Structures are given as structure tokens and as C-alpha cells.
Amino acid sequence: MQVISDFKDYEILDMAHGEKLERWKEYILVRPDPQIIWSEEQTNLWTKAHAVYKRSKTGGGAWQINRNIADSWIVSYGDLKFNLKLMGFKHTGLFPEQAYNWNLIREKIKNAKREVKVLNLFAYTGGATIAALKEGASVVHVDSSRGMIDWAKENVKINNLEDSKVRFLVDDVRKFVKREIRRGNKYDIIIMDPPSFGRGNKNEVWNIEEDLALLIKDCKELLSDNPLLFIINSYTTGLNKVVIENLLRLYLKNYDGSIISEELCLPMTNSNLILPCGITTRFQSNK
């Protein structure tokens, strides 16, 4: 278990009745979280929230704005910067627990002392992309959403990385990977954050239980002779980390490295409570 406690611009202030009270730099938000099944509040700060995400009984939900809040604002993690916004489905454009992987990616690239090529699939707003670019790697960033690609470009700009080696592609991940295999392209690091379900830009359907194994098998063909990392993040309830470990053991058995799973967690301020935030499983080279 990895508890991410050094994200100065982010903290959980309280957790109760299915919601988390969070501070994102100067703004306080309330968002639902199914892991919070207790009702005891620890602070009276709930009334200070700038915005609350309210679920609808018919599905989805909307933000209730209680105090003035910017349309977008920037948070920092060390020397990394990210542009946040209130999204239509409770998100802000950043998963702070992924700081664990950002640090790992940067360390591997720095220690490689060679040119490193990174493939970031289901790449979202580009947290891992920014981390890799900061260490001088070249990155191919793939997501099926044009809006997420544009947001990732904003993050590249605010980090002054416009001159870095990065390619952005709006594409279905599975189709892109198959084309890359035919092209003979290779990568030293592959990262993926697959959703449980999703649709591509041409209405392609993704189901993690049906499609993940085939995608990993295909991605194996894109690994360089001496890969550094193969990271799979999962927020899918019921998909056990051992299942993903088994997939990596099956398809990456010819590489010299270790397979490691971690539960990523965030701490609550002034409390011994922690919030589980998904699983990260990786192949990591022994070199």
C-alpha cells in the first residue's frame, strides 16, 4: 500500500456519508466516493465548500456552486503543474494518487541514461506525460477524447514543455496499438489507465474484462529489447490485482524484471483514516 502524503496542493479534509471533502489549492470541493461507507464527520469545514457534486437519482449529476470558483486553476506537485476544471462527471482532471507513478516514471527515465520512448494510452489530461517529458523522454499520448487531448496540451504549455518531443493522437487505443505493431515502433515505457467501460471517437466499445488481456498481449509487441516499465492502473471494482499480475506474467515472461502491485491511497489530514484510490500494477526492469 502506498499512501501519497506529499501533494501540498491537495488534501482530504474529511470523509463521511459517501463523500470526500477535499482542498485543491485554494478551493474546497465535495465529491462522492463509494469507498466511504461511514457517516461520522470529523470537521465542520463541510459548509466551506466552494462546489459540491450532486448525484442525480436518474443517473449522472451536476456541480452545485456555493462560492466563487474559477473556471480553471493550476495546482502543483513539486515542479509539475496541472490545470484543473470542474468536469461534468465529478472529476477535476487529475488523480493525485498517481503522483506515486509520476515519481517512478521520472526515476526510471533519469536512471536509464539513454533516450527513452514512452507510450501513454488512455492518457487523459496527461499527468504521466508531463512527468516523462520533464525528464527528457519522448512521449506518444493517445486518448479517444478530443477534449482530453486539448486539456493535456494545456498542461504541456503551463509546464513550458512545448518544445518537448510529444505527439498527441485522438484515436482508439486498440486500433492505434495494432498500427504501431505494423509500423515496427518500439517503446521503453508503456502506461495505460483503462476505464471499466468506454467508447472511442468512432463509437468503438471498450470493456475492460473483455479487452484488457488482448490489449496487453498486443502492447508486448511494442516493447523495446530492454523495457523499463509497463504500468497498468485500474479503478475497476472487482478486477483483482492478481488478475492483472497474471496477465503481465503471461505476456512479459521473457523480460528480466519484477511484477509489483500497489494499492494507492490518500490520507486524511489530522486523522489516521486513509482512502483507497485504485490499484497500480507494473512490470519493472531489474536494471
Residue 268 pLDDT > 70: yes
* Pairing label, strands 2-3, 166-170: unpaired
Through-space distance between the first and last CA atoms of the chain, rounded to whole angstroms = 23
CB 204 within 8 A of CB 235: no
One-letter identity of residue 68: N
Residue 285: which of 246, 259, 251, 248 has the closest Cα? Answer: 259
Residue holding cell 518500439? Answer: 186
The chain-wide mean pLDDT, for the chain, equals 94
Cα separations (Å) of 66 from 26, 160, 255? 14, 33, 53
pLDDT of residue 201: 64
Pick the CATH number of 7-84 from 3.40.630.30, 3.90.110.10, 3.40.50.720, 2.60.40.1180: 2.60.40.1180
Separation CA 283–CA 202 (nearest Å): 31
Pick the CATH number of 96-285 from 3.40.190.10, 3.40.50.150, 3.40.640.10, 3.40.50.360: 3.40.50.150
Three cell numbers, residue 161: 514543455
Q: What is the pTM of this model?
A: 0.94
Residue-wise pLDDT for 218-254, tens only, equals 999 999 999 999 999 988 777 788 999 999 999 999 8
Residue-wise pLDDT for 37-51, tens only, equals 999 999 999 999 999
CB 167 within 8 A of CB 185: no
